């Protein structure tokens, strides 16, 4: 296996991006601290937003840079990214970001975080790098990205990339060796011995790491609630083929946009039953393009057609691969279901195959069910894991897979990652069954570090972190206060009072406007609106003198209206008073 050494940390020469100018060996102080610090900035206590800092002396690497998905209560939020304040405030040298696989909860934060870490190079498998490049180039980001096979040397970190299997090809675990000890970073995985790409997990290298020595194992734990071993992706082939064969009209196949293996199965089945394939949805188009470019999808010439060609073919000769399996508003699948797509229409006899489940922790099941209901209303058949077996399997190992990884790597200590708190706590029970001391299993929260010193793991200091919300073009400008305001408006509406006041004597100088949005319907609640207007007059009747503090008067009006609204309706709308100076 090849070892790639960062050209900026060795004498190897590679083409250098002119915008990329990290410090050379001569400029960097030598690390001599015997302690490795590991800080999860995401990925513990939740199944998404994975990001882990490894720090030895003055040197750091980061493993993964994912995004999270908003909860239903995060109104208006598009995504959530890790808080990298620790990386920005420190005086350390970040030598690189290493990606384990190309799912959005592991690479989706890059477009938002790389602009703040401008000189950092990104490494990973061929597919992860190809998909990550697509994401960041759309944002005009020029950080250099380097595909790596075998191993990678970054300062004091010797990193071996060990092939694992997941629900996306070209996934890796990382065996990280440092002077302080050795860590096995076992990101999302299952032991799929018959994967679609015929590249099974490298069990030999996993066992070899255990023989060499693993002081600390970080291990995926999301599937730990299920007994046994997670089924192979190949178990889906027959069910998907049957659905394609038995469909008279168009086949619409949707899954997570990075479900390369699933798309390959659907395309192979379409070829077998003489269907042409159109890909609809930007994210799916880009990911399939990246998978073809890197050799992880193989599609014969003449199979793929453009969406605008669909109408010219008989429905029974067409398969659509579509993004939007989570029912996201505005997605290609959402537009198709609502007959809003400009090139393709679904009709009776067409069939939608949904080969995915809700993203853990997002609570978006309702969106998916709404999508299905819309399709049913339009007489389109829907097939999903709830109605047909073997249309979806998890990418996360079950209890047997998780135990096997620990047996292969034989760690002294363990940190469960990539799951909610309950999954992490259940892992402690599994570790006890494997004869581990409960004190050797660390259940961490975001920002809670561990220290590896002389091959011994102990809990380190806690670093403050928070969710960084991405809302449209804004990053981090939506906080808990804004979300709370949005929640109030969503539940009880908003009541606005526009009050003209004279500056010379603070008296009301015209009509007061009361505007209700989501609180009460103004046309049918005229008495309540008039009473609110009278409440403002009453509030200001004793106001005299030259106004020096409009803010005080505004808060006074808001306090009176808040009490009025609750007394009359038992609701607490957001109250906004606007003073118009006359």
Q: What secondary structure does DSSP assign to 411-456, as a single string?
A: -SEEEEESEEHHHHHHHHHHHHHTT--GGGB----TTEEEEEETTE
Terminal alpha carbon distance of the chain: 78
Tens digits of residue pLDDT in 367-410: 889 999 999 999 999 999 888 878 899 999 999 999 999 999 99
Percentage of residues of the chain with pLDDT beyond 90: 61
**What residues contact 313, with CB distance under 8 A and at least 6 apart?**
276, 305
Quickly state the pLDDT bin for 5 (edges 50, 70, 90). Answer: low
Q: Can you read off the two tokens belonging to residue 63?
A: 């493993």
Tens digits of residue pLDDT in 281-335: 999 999 999 999 999 999 999 999 999 999 999 999 999 999 999 888 888 999 9
CA-to-CA separations, 295 to 98, 107, 189, 197, 472, in angstroms, rounded: 21, 20, 21, 10, 34
Quickly state the pLDDT bin for 224 (edges 50, 70, 90). Answer: very high
**pLDDT greater than 80 at residue 467:** no
Once rounded to an integer, what is the mean pLDDT over residues 56-70? 91
> What are the b/e assignments for 210-229, b being 16+ CB within 10 Å?
beeebbbbbbbbbbbeeeeb
Closest CA to 48 of 320, 328, 361: 361
Catalytic residues: 220, 396
Handedness of CA 404, 405, 409, 415 (dihedral sign): negative
Closest CA to 394 of 251, 233, 184, 550: 233
Q: What is the pLDDT of residue 374?
A: 93
Going along the chain from its start, the domains and CATH numbers come out as 36-228+394-460 (3.60.15.10), 233-383 (3.40.50.10710), 478-581 (3.10.20.580)
pTM, rounded to two decimals:
0.78
């Amino acid at each position: 296996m090849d070892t790639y050494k960062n050209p900026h940390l060795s004498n190897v020469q590679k083409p250098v991006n002119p915008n990329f100018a990290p410090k050379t060996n001569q400029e960097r102080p030598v690390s001599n601290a015997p302690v490795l610090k590991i800080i999860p900035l995401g990925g513990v206590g939740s199944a998404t937003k994975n990001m882990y800092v490894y720090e030895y002396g003055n040197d750091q690497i980061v493993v993964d840079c994912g995004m999270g998905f908003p909860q239903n209560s995060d109104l208006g939020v598009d995504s959530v990214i890790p808080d990298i304040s620790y990386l920005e405030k420190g005086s350390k040298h970040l030598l690189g970001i290493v990606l384990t696989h190309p799912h959005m909860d592991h690479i989706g934060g890059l477009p938002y975080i790389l602009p703040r870490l401008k000189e950092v190079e990104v490494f990973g498998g061929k597919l992860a790098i190809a998909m990550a490049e697509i994401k960041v180039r759309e944002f005009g980001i020029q950080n250099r990205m380097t595909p790596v096979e075998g191993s990678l040397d970054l300062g004091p970190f010797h990193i071996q990339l060990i092939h694992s299997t997941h629900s996306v090809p070209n996934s890796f675990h990382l065996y990280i060796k440092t002077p302080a000890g050795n860590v096995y970073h076992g990101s999302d995985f299952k032991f799929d011995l018959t994967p679609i790409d015929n590249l099974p997990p490298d069990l030999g290298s996993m066992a070899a790491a255990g023989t060499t020595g693993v002081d600390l194992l970080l291990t995926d734990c999301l599937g730990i609630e299920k007994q046994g071993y997670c089924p192979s992706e190949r178990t889906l082939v027959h069910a998907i083929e049957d659905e394609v064969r038995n469909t008279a009209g168009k086949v619409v196949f949707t899954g997570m946009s990075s479900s390369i293996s699933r798309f390959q199965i659907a395309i192979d089945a379409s070829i077998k039953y003489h269907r042409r394939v159109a890909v609809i949805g930007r994210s799916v188009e880009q990911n399939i393009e990246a998978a073809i470019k890197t050799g992880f999808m193989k599609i014969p010439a003449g199979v793929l057609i453009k969406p605008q060609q669909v109408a010219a073919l008989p429905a029974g000769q067409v398969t659509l691969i579509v993004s939007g399996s989570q029912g996201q508003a505005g997605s290609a699948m959402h537009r198709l279901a609502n007959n809003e797509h400009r090139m393709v229409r679904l009709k009776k006899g067409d069939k939608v195959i949904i080969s995915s489940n809700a993203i853990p922790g997002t609570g978006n099941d309702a969106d998916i069910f709404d999508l299905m209901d819309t399709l049913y209303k339009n007489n389109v058949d829907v097939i999903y894991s709830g109605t047909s077996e073997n249309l979806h399997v998890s990418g996360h190992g079950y209890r047997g897979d998780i135990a096997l990884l620990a047996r292969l790597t034989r760690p002294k200590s363990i940190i469960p990652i990539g799951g909610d708190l309950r999954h992490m706590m259940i892992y402690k029970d599994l570790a006890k069954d494997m004869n581990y001391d409960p004190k050797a299993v660390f259940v961490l929260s975001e920002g809670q570090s561990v220290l590896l010193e002389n091959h011994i793991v102990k809990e380190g200091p806690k670093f403050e972190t928070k969710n960084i919300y991405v809302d449209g073009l804004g990053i981090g400008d939506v906080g808990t206060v804004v979300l709370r305001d949005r929640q109030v408006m969503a539940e009880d509406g908003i009541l606005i009072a526009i009050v003209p006041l004279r500056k010379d004597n603070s008296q009301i100088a015209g009509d007061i406007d009361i505007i209700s949005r989501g609180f009460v319907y103004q046309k049918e609640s005229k008495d309540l609106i008039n009473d609110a207007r009278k409440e403002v007059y009453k509030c200001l009747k004793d106001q005299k003198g030259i106004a020096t503090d409009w803010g005080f008067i505004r808060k006074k009006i808001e306090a009176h209206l808040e009490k009025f609204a609750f007394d009359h309706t038992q609701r607490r709308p957001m109250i906004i008073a606007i003073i118009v100076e006359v």
